[in-house]
Amino acid sequence: MSAYRWRLFKLFGIPISVNLSWVVILALITLTISASIPAWTNEYFGASASQLVLWQRWLLGLIAALTFFACIVLHELGHALVARSWGLPIQGITLFLFGGVSELKGEPTSAASEFWMAVAGPFVSLLLGLVFGLLAWLGYQAGWSPPIVVVFGYLGAINLLLLAFNMVPAFPLDGGRVLRSALWATTGNLRRATHWASAAGQVFAWLLIAWGIVQLFAGNWLGGIWLGLIGMFLNDAAQSSYRQVIIRNALRGEPVRRFMNSQPIVVPQSLDLSHWVEDYVYRFHHRAFPVTSNGHLEGYISTQEHSKMPRTEWIRRTVGEVMQRNLEPIEITPEADALAALGKMQRSGCSRLLVVEHEQLLGIISVKDLLQFLDLKMELESGEDNTLDRCT
């Protein structure tokens, strides 16, 4: 469990988590539904039909909000299961302020896989909208409790609204992914297809922001703020998605050996911590160093472990006593794909990896090394795609 995300359970082997921001939208939806139940009931059943007391409305609002988020999980699960059927590993599904997201460990391998992954979620939302709409109709005909009938109607309508919003052809919305799959199939170029789909996403995002500003001036401040936040989120997501494709295309197939520093600064086990700080940390301005003995990698020492120790102990303790010995999370082989190295850095939260072969330290690769290569490649490779990159 991280500070901002909690693991809840697994569905079909896929972890389901919630982000801290999800609590905010859960409270807002609960408040909206509970406050609206009397008006909805009066509109469709007459003033005498709404007999729920305050705590009952709140309870029904909470149940409806949780059901809606269960619908979002099912929507994302549709994406995830189809992605897995196409061979893409799924890291998990996370609910957050703006809904949910399926965390894939890579990009789709073809336009066809992109298309089927994109439409799977909206198809689930369509089914859910029809099911809840049918339950509302059946409840109305059978004389069920009016507030329950209107909540079913609300769940049906909001799932269909979710479907309509997601199918807007603006990346990274599902409709934007369908657009990207069509452009990809037409041009045969994922990078170019992502550029145009992301551009559509940014245009739609700015339209939402503009409409939010109009709503603010019209007095609907809550709706205006909400539209503005969604627009800013979509704009950032569209830009980030395009950058990820550029990075993946540039690094895929490049061996780690090409980027590593083959003469890393190493520390002996026998060195006391006081001299390690003075002679290495303050001199070279690194937070961590590999520990070796005759070229053999023994461990890894960082300022994180060192900071937990009283200063009076520095002169009496050695590097070998406090260094990390489990290096698997920060090790990589010299022939590994640079894209795999970047992914391992992201998962471990470490910006540098030790390049190791047969327990011998060959070098160190850092995020800075990869980004410098990426900048040079984008600058030197001329052509239409680079023009598009600079405009994004």
| pLDDT in the model for residue 379 | 66
| pLDDT in the model for residue 384 | 45
| pLDDT in the model for residue 392 | 41
d(CA 299, CA 326): 7
- For the sheet with 14-19, list strands across it: 5-11, 14-19, 90-96, 99-104
The burial of 165, by beta-carbon neighbours within 10 Å (0-12 exposed, 13-18 middle, 19 or more buried), is given as middle
Mean pLDDT in order along the chain per 10 residues (392 residues) = 69 85 84 81 65 79 90 92 87 80 78 92 95 93 85 92 92 91 90 89 93 89 84 87 78 83 88 88 87 84 77 83 84 85 77 86 86 73 46 40
In one-letter notation, the amino acid at residue 179 is L
- Separation of CA 388 from chain center: 25
- Sign for the CA dihedral angle at 38, 40, 43, 44 comes to negative
pTM attached to this predicted model: 0.72
Which domains does the chain carry?
A: 5-167 (no CATH), 256-367 (3.10.580.10)
**Contact (CB, 8 A) for 211 and 229:** no
Tokens of 198: 């992301």
**Contact (CB, 8 A) for 99 and 107:** no
Residues with Cβ within 8 Å of 144's Cβ and at least 6 positions away in sequence, in order, are none
CA-to-CA separations, 340 to 241, 294, 345, 353, in angstroms, rounded? 18, 29, 9, 11
